[in-house]
Amino acid sequence: MQIETSSHKPSEMTAEASLEIHDLHVRYGRVHALRGISLNVAPGEVVAVLGANGAGKSSLLKALIGLQPTAGGRVRYGGADITDWPPSRRIRSGLVLVPEGRRIVTGLTVHENLQMGAFARADRRAVSAEIDAIFHRFPNLAARRNHAAGVLSGGEQQMLAIGRGLLAAPRLMMLDEPSLGLSPRLTGEVFALLRDLHRERGLSLLLVEQNTHQALALADRAYVLELGRVVVEGAPDQLRADPLLHDAYLGSTERRRNAAS
């Protein structure tokens, strides 16, 4: 079932949903979390950001959505400089973040959580149709639509978080560790969903993920961060062939997978 793309089109965007980040810095007091990050996402492209814990991946996404002040650099999205925009304006423009840990509101129902994703939209009929399409895609969510979201499993909560993000009518969706805490089977289901959304909607994706194999299988390009800097950039095949990357990231992932089998 294809989830239809909303006709909601922010008027202030004058170009395709490209994302360009130049020399971005983020500080937490004396901690220099991002040290001059530059990267880009072309319209319809899937870009993965890889790296160990503390590399600056989550700080990058928080800065891009406007939740973390920057200490230098510029962000352009859809042809506009959004560096100083508040989060609400970025979301209305179609830049949407599915945060780490899902962050659903457990005291609200599944249906109410989905409605929260459409807070900035006025096309209520289209929103209702999209919610119906999400329930059609995810029967487990449909069966619990009037239940508190806290009763959902971890995998169901992740599907709900992605569904909530879709209700914001994204042109570019950013996802922070979507496989965190999920079993290998559920991780596969999440990545299959992201692959479908990219294919069906042409949705641009910026994916922060520690499951390197899954991320590279989905991505068109990838960046590797280390201590707040980009240390490697390239196509998935190039990164897989890099012995330093393999030892630092792919090798550790393989060892975890072998230990679990």
For the segment 82-94, the average pLDDT, to the nearest whole number, is 94
Please determine, for residue 54, whether its predicted confidence score (pLDDT) is greater than 50: yes
CA distance 7 to 65: 22
Quote the number of domains for the chain: 1
For the segment 126-151, the average pLDDT, to the nearest whole number, is 92
pLDDT confidence band for 86 (50 / 70 / 90)? very high
Query: Which residues are 223's β-sheet partners?
Result: 49, 233
CA distance 145 to 149: 8
The pLDDT of residue 11 is: 39
Cβ atoms of 227 and 57 closer than 8 Å: no
Question: Checking DSSP bridges between strand 204-208 and strand 46-50, what pairing results, if any?
Answer: parallel
For the segment 150-154, the average pLDDT, to the nearest whole number, is 90
CA-CA-CA-CA torsion for 28, 207, 235, 202, nearest 10 degrees?
-140
Residue, of 31 and 121, whose pLDDT is higher: 31
For the segment 85-93, the average pLDDT, to the nearest whole number, is 94
Structure tokens at 76: 């352009």
Contacts of 173 (CB under 8 A, 6+ apart): 96, 97, 98, 165, 166, 197, 203, 204, 205, 206
pLDDT confidence band for 10 (50 / 70 / 90)? very low
CA distance 49 to 151: 31
CA distance 134 to 137: 5
Q: Tell me whether residue 5 is in a domain.
A: no
Question: Checking DSSP bridges between strand 46-50 and strand 221-226, what pairing results, if any?
Answer: parallel
Q: Tell me whether residue 14 is in a domain.
A: no
Q: Tell me whether residue 9 is in a domain.
A: no
CA distance 128 to 134: 10
What residues make up the domain containing 88? Answer: 19-260
Please determine, for residue 135, whether its predicted confidence score (pLDDT) is greater than 90: yes
Structure tokens at 260: 């679990």
Instruction: Name the residue among 177, 172, 163 with its Cα closest to residue 90.
Output: 172
pLDDT confidence band for 193 (50 / 70 / 90)? confident
> CATH code at 28?
3.40.50.300
Q: Tell me whether residue 2 is in a domain.
A: no
The pLDDT of residue 1 is: 38
First to last CA, the chain: 33
Q: Tell me whether residue 7 is in a domain.
A: no
Please determine, for residue 165, whether its predicted confidence score (pLDDT) is greater than 50: yes
CA distance 68 to 60: 9
Q: Tell me whether residue 8 is in a domain.
A: no
Q: Tell me whether residue 126 is in a domain.
A: yes
The pLDDT of residue 93 is: 92
For the segment 141-149, the average pLDDT, to the nearest whole number, is 94
pLDDT confidence band for 248 (50 / 70 / 90)? low
Structure tokens at 101: 């840990």
Q: Tell me whether residue 116 is in a domain.
A: yes
